[in-house]
Chains A and B, each alone.
Chain A
Amino acid sequence: MSALSYAYFPGCVAQGACQELYLSTAALAQALDIELIELKKAACCGSGTYKEDSQLLEDTVNARNIALAESLNLPLLTHCSTCQGVIGHVDERLKTAQENDPAYVEQINTLLKKEGGCSPYQGTGEVTHLLWVLVGKYGLDRVKEKVTRSLSGLKCAAFYGCYLLRAQDTLPHDDPFNPTSMEQVFETVGATPILYPGRTQCCGWPISSYAPKESFSLAGKHIQAAIAAGADCLVTPCPLCHLNLDSRQPEVEKVIGQSLGLPILHLPQLVALALGVEPQKLGLDKHVVSTRSVLAKL
């Protein structure tokens, strides 16, 4: 039996435009002997958009997501900064409401019972991100023991994603203004962390559909700063950031008037590479910006 098991919330992007994240999370879990039980009946967290329509909508849909994990008696695992921030904060808010506003939780549970096809939200579970599992419960010492291909010589710059750092009231391992989890992971796999101002900032994705110039200016500013600081690649625990930084990098280059060509890796791709997983199993060929320069450094 696996030492660690999680109710795995895949999210929309890993099943859509970033399938390489889905592949690499599965490969990493297998390499670390972490059991993932996929929540096949779960639904989109709303990426912060439900709340702009209705707070009750965000809370109810995500209470259902959490309840699905609770019924398996497993912590809910995300691999997306945005899913983590949204579902994690709903969990925080509802746990507080159990004390301060039990009628609100009752309203949500009545909806879940009538329409949700799931057990009630109990507030007994945990919502955690793959990054925090590596740094926390699994432990970087154990990850290090499994490294078979040290990434020494590879300079990695983190791109954390806003929701991972600032959407929740408390973070288990990081200060939101001075996070170190990603950099600790880089050191564990033998890579060199590169610090630059944009690592905790917004990628611009939420406004990309209607304000592309502003959105891509933000992304470009951060990519430029990472390159100037000496990064060989950006590594992100957020597929939405990946969309703006990688898939839209050609548009970003047009807006800032400079070619960039900086590969953007998903967090599990980087770690799995160090554990000896073959690049093709990690979807490293499914990036808009070629990852060949990263692979050439290994």
Chain B
Amino acid sequence: MKVSFKVYRQQPQEAPRIATYLLDVEPGNTILECLNRIKWELDGTLAFRKNCRNTICGSCGMKINHRSALACKENVGQEIERFPTDSGTGIPEITIAPMGNMPVVKDLVVDMTSFWDNLEAVDPYVSTKGRKIPEKEFLQTPEARSQLEKSGNCILCGACYSECNAREVNPNFVGPHALAKAQRLVNDDRDTETEARLEKYHEGIQGTWGCTRCYLCNAVCPMGVAPMDRIGEIKQDLLDRKPAHDSRSVRHRKVLIDLVKDGGWIDERKFGLMVMGDYFRDLRGLLEIAPLGLRMLTRGKFPMFFEPSQGTSEVRSLIESVQNLDNQSSQ
């Protein structure tokens, strides 16, 4: 079958242009096989990264039909089925672009310096300081190892980082790949720096709390790491340790659960006052949301009344039972 490949070509600091390459391919051909043929048969100047061809090395990350993926994992047939485009020619098209959130070096090759620097920022190694180094390797039970499997599958391809919405507006955010690694180390029973790590990952919005929960990292990860879920697990550890007054990010979560216990639904008036105003302790926070409150009042949008759920008492008992169970299991 004939397929038209629309490939972004770009030199650094220049606007991209789209080059079109027509190939006769099989539905089962991988996108990487097609790119190889373009380079070998049609245009030797096309630049892209590749290595293992087997979803192991993570080299060939790129945007295939507008989402980040590995060129060696995706094939022509599936791409045409999920994103049918033909510009009226009857010939299906597949669009290939460089990954996002990183500057282009050439064509499909991006500069991953920030990706590696941000990984380094979470101290991505099992700590050994203060330990008596054993003669052989650190031993770990299969049960303890199984805790690390999901994040341990990461091949550092950059797909999650490329899509991360938080990275687009927060250049200090370390990214989902780094936080998935961070969670692996928090959960690693050989690591001796758990508390120090959690403090570090809790700071500001460069770490855990910078995640916007856009789910894109989970959706594109070719290895099932589900980085957003791993970030959520760090949040669980932090919420176990931090009181509501610690920060707005912590308070946001704790107040929500408290208000559900109070009314089944969230009374949004209280939510604003308690989260932003820290239970009337933070005057600056209260002043911050005052314009929103006034604006909503003038637009007839402000909720004047709150009607609790008719199941509030049951919901409260249910949440308290779960919290008791969670407390017992964490002790």
Q: Which residues of A contact B281 (CB under 8 A)?
A: none
Q: Which residues of B contact A49 (CB under 8 A)?
A: 252-253, 256-257
A254 to B249: give the CA distance in the assembly, Å. 23
A50 within 8 A of B: yes
Which residues of B in the span 267-316 have a Cβ within 8 Å of any Cβ on A? 267-269, 275-276, 288, 291-292, 295-296, 299-303, 306-307, 309-315
User: Quick check: A16 and B267 within 8 Å, CB to CB?
Assistant: yes
User: Quick check: A52 and B232 within 8 Å, CB to CB?
Assistant: yes
User: Quick check: A115 and B236 within 8 Å, CB to CB?
Assistant: no
Residue of A47, A57, A112, A285 with most chain B CB atoms under a 10 A cut-off = A57
Q: Which residues of A contact B295 (CB under 8 A)?
A: 247, 250, 288
A218 within 8 A of B: yes
CB B103 to nearest CB in A, in angstroms, measures 18
Complex partner residue of B257 from A15, A50, A204, CB under 8 angstroms: A50
Number of A-B residue pairs, CB cutoff 8 Å, is 205
A40 to B312: give the CA distance in the assembly, Å. 10
User: Quick check: B268 and A13 within 8 Å, CB to CB?
Assistant: yes
Complex partner residue of A211 from B205, B257, B314, CB under 8 angstroms: B205
User: Quick check: A43 and B311 within 8 Å, CB to CB?
Assistant: yes
User: Quick check: A41 and B322 within 8 Å, CB to CB?
Assistant: no
Answer whether A53 and B236 are a contact pair too, CB < 8 Å, given A111-B321, A287-B299: yes
User: Quick check: B264 and A48 within 8 Å, CB to CB?
Assistant: no
User: Quick check: B321 and A210 within 8 Å, CB to CB?
Assistant: no
Residue on B with the closest CB to A108?
A: B322
Interface residues as binary, A112-130 with B (CB distance below 8 Å gives 1, 0 otherwise): 1011111000000000000
Answer whether A64 and B315 are a contact pair too, CB < 8 Å, given A53-B239, A114-B321, A206-B213: yes
Answer whether A177 and B67 are a contact pair too, CB < 8 Å, given A207-B210, A209-B276, A247-B295: yes
Chain B interface, number of residues (Cβ within 8 angstroms): 70
What is the size category of the interface that chain A forms with chain B?
35 or more
A15 to B256: give the CA distance in the assembly, Å. 16
Residue on A with the closest CB to B316?
A: A115
9-residue interface stretch from B49-57, B120-128, B161-169: B161-169
Q: Which residues of A contact B322 (CB under 8 A)?
A: 54, 56-57, 60-61, 111
A44 within 8 A of B: yes
Q: Which residues of A contact B213 (CB under 8 A)?
A: 48, 162, 202, 206
B20 within 8 A of A: no
Q: Which residues of A contact B165 (CB under 8 A)?
A: 201-202, 204, 218
A72 to B236: give the CA distance in the assembly, Å. 34
User: Quick check: A210 and B268 within 8 Å, CB to CB?
Assistant: no
A61 to B295: give the CA distance in the assembly, Å. 33
Which residues of A in the span 208-228 have a Cβ within 8 Å of any Cβ on B? 209-212, 214-215, 217-218, 221
User: Quick check: A286 and B321 within 8 Å, CB to CB?
Assistant: no
Which residues of A in the span 177-223 have a Cβ within 8 Å of any Cβ on B? 177-178, 201-202, 204, 206-207, 209-212, 214-215, 217-218, 221
Answer whether A19 and B301 are a contact pair too, CB < 8 Å, given A53-B239, A54-B322, A162-B215: yes
CB A221 to nearest CB in B, in angstroms, measures 7
B247 within 8 A of A: yes
CB A142 to nearest CB in B, in angstroms, measures 26
Complex partner residue of A42 from B168, B253, B309, CB under 8 angstroms: B309
User: Quick check: B257 and A53 within 8 Å, CB to CB?
Assistant: yes
A204 to B264: give the CA distance in the assembly, Å. 25
Answer whether A247 and B319 are a contact pair too, CB < 8 Å, given A16-B268, A42-B311: no
User: Quick check: B67 and A288 within 8 Å, CB to CB?
Assistant: no
User: Quick check: A204 and B236 within 8 Å, CB to CB?
Assistant: no
Residue of A46, A52, A114, A251 with most chain B CB atoms under a 10 A cut-off = A52
